[in-house]
Structure 1
Amino acid sequence: MKNILITGSSGNLGSAIVKSGKFQNILTPSHKEMDIANKDSVRNFFQNNDFETVIHCAAIVRVGNSEEEITKAINTNVIGTSNLVNEVLKKESEQGKKIRFIHISTDGVYSRAEGNYSENSPTIPMNPYGWTKLAAESSVRLLKNFCIIRTSFFNPDKLNFSEVPEDVYTSKMNVSDLVDAIKILFESDFVGTINVGNKKISNYNLYKKYIRDLKPVKLDDIKDSLPFELPRDSSMDVSLWEKLKHEKGLHNL
């Protein structure tokens, strides 16, 4: 049976993948069993486990501007990904076969200037998190059988706000839909970078489906109270993803 290594299996996306039951024969090491920021820990796990696919979800997402937070993000998002890639390359050389590597990236690698970003749009992140994820992508491209998924998602069960900007736009998707998308790309032979998400929608129109009595506000009225800078338009051109879905006969995802 072909095994799948899932990093970050206790996080929002990783746990959703595990709970979905859509992936069989999964390996879900705890931080103690494999600390991706520690190359010896990664090497030890790789040497003692066999798998044909890596779904790399582990990441520090909420990154502030303090030196401590940025260092932690670099260790996990950049160095951690590099450690995984290095061990995949070694394992491929030893086994004589390619390992599928699915890397979860972010819409935050784009410039956040105009929206509707294609996979070929300039990548000029507006915050430390985006920069660390962009650096991680560079490591992943050293592999032959990789799929970089640029995306943004939300969990309907964890929405705990009462107001949201109506003039901010996104391509965010429900985490359950993202799990389905990952399954499709896992089963495909797609190699490269792909934007995965919904078509452009305002945050208000997206979340009002899930939150009763949600209040629409203007970004300018609340931006000073936000803990981080919120781009007005982080929507992506998802035509490549739509094309792939169409080819698979999946029109409702």
Structure 2
Amino acid sequence: MVMKLLITGITSLPGYKTVIEGIEKNHEIVGIYHEKIPDLKIKLIKADLTNKMLTQDIIIKEKPDAIIHIAGMGDVDNCEVEKEKCFNSNYLSTLNIVKVSNAFNIHMIYLSTDYVFDGQKGNYKENETPNPINYYGLTKLLGESSVKTLTNYAIVRTSTIYGIGIGRSNFAMYLINKLKNGEEIKAVVDQFTSPTNTTLLAKALIEIAEKRLIGVFHVGGERLSRYEFAVKLAEKMGFDTDLIRKTYINEMKWKAKRPIDSSLNFDNTKKFIDINFYETENALNILKSEYYSLKVEKDN
């Protein structure tokens, strides 16, 4: 069934990829962007989602079957410094969408984060109690709380998003750009997440919309340290793994605290989602294919 999907944050990597996946599934896509105009052949609307009336007017006019809310401030360190901007971007905009979604019973899908957890245990299930240790995680949790006031919602927590495309730099592209030039990099060995291929995340988001799934879902990859992920990526791409140096979380000059182990458990999500979003081998194969496809396009 063809759906009308309103997707926010389409100039981010996950937003862009979700639009592409929606187009490939023949859905009607309306994309919301804030500043830079994206190169996408869909209906584009420029909007500041912290503006309550503007946000509600857009949604009422477009009448989407579902809203996939990806927009937000994702730089963890900047969130610690620019707290008001982070609050408005991650919570206030979400609240504005929630209010109109509730009034018109629109299925709202909210992209959240593993950083709602404190990282004391790892392998977190959807029903475990969040306890964020940085401001970014707090604002995303506030967003979750507002979304949970709806009856027709899905919260998708993910982790360390990476991939080929647009948006701000991500760890995988940083690694590729350094290692292909023979430059050494440092990667933390004692912080664990569930690195997530953005193409697979996008497929999961569209599938959740199509199936109108309700509840909280974890989507991501296998539990890995940044060092382990860097080595696996280097091996897959044929780069020299000796260029990857170990470092530790207490040596990093981050402004915001990071959870030691915010890895996610996917047992529940696997019951509902058909795609293999969780195996690192599959995810890195997709990354490699997309990287060389893009390289060929640029070379031509």
**TM-score under structure 2 normalisation?**
0.74
Pair 47,237 (structure 1): closer, same or farther in 2 beyond 3 Å: closer
Flag the structure with higher helix content. Answer: 2
Does structure 2 retain, via aligned residues, the 8 Å contact 1:153–1:178? no
Does residue 147 of the first structure (1) align with residue 154 of the second (2)?
yes
**CA deviation after TM superposition for structure 1 residue 239, in Å:** 1.1
**CA deviation after TM superposition for structure 1 residue 190, in Å:** 2.3
Does structure 1 retain, via aligned residues, the 8 Å contact 2:79–2:85? no
**What residue identity is the alignment partner of 1:41?**
L
Within 5 Å, give how 1:166-205 maps onto structure 2. Answer: 166-205=189-228
Aligned partner of 2:4 in structure 1 is: 3
Does residue 232 of the first structure (1) align with residue 260 of the second (2)?
yes
Equivalent position SS for 1:209: helix
**CA deviation after TM superposition for structure 1 residue 231, in Å:** 2.6
Does residue 164 of the first structure (1) align with residue 187 of the second (2)?
yes
Aligned partner of 1:95 in structure 2 is: none
Within 5 Å, give how 1:56-135 maps onto structure 2. Answer: 56-64=69-77, 69-90=82-103, 92=104, 98-135=105-142
Q: Deviations over 1:111-158 (max 9, x none)?
A: 111211111222110100000000001111121110000111432444
**CA deviation after TM superposition for structure 1 residue 252, in Å:** 7.0
**What residue identity is the alignment partner of 1:226?**
W
Aligned partner of 2:59 in structure 1 is: 46
Does residue 22 of the first structure (1) align with residue 24 of the second (2)?
yes
Equivalent position SS for 1:131: helix
Equivalent position SS for 1:111: coil
CA distance in 2, matches of 1:69, 1:151: 23
Deviates more, 1:195-204 or 1:33-42: 195-204
Pair 127,16 (structure 1): closer, same or farther in 2 beyond 3 Å: same
Does structure 1 retain, via aligned residues, the 8 Å contact 2:80–2:134? no
Equivalent position SS for 1:51: coil
**What residue identity is the alignment partner of 2:47?**
M
CA distance in 2, matches of 1:180, 1:231: 27
Does structure 1 retain, via aligned residues, the 8 Å contact 2:14–2:70? yes
Task: Indicate the RMSD between aligned Cα atoms, in angstroms.
Answer: 2.3
Aligned partner of 1:12 in structure 2 is: 13
CA distance in 2, matches of 1:63, 1:78: 15
CA distance in 2, matches of 1:67, 1:232: 18
**CA deviation after TM superposition for structure 1 residue 174, in Å:** 0.8
CA distance in 2, matches of 1:182, 1:30: 18
Q: Deviations over 1:32-74 (max 9, x none)?
A: 7321101011122123222111000001111447886110011
Equivalent position SS for 2:49: coil
CA distance in 2, matches of 1:66, 1:164: 22
Pair 208,123 (structure 1): closer, same or farther in 2 beyond 3 Å: same
CA distance in 2, matches of 1:109, 1:220: 19
**CA deviation after TM superposition for structure 1 residue 31, in Å:** 2.3
CA distance in 1, matches of 2:163, 2:12: 15
**CA deviation after TM superposition for structure 1 residue 221, in Å:** 6.2
Residue 251 of structure 2, aligned match among 222, 230, 240: 222
CA distance in 1, matches of 2:266, 2:209: 18
Q: Percent identity?
A: 30
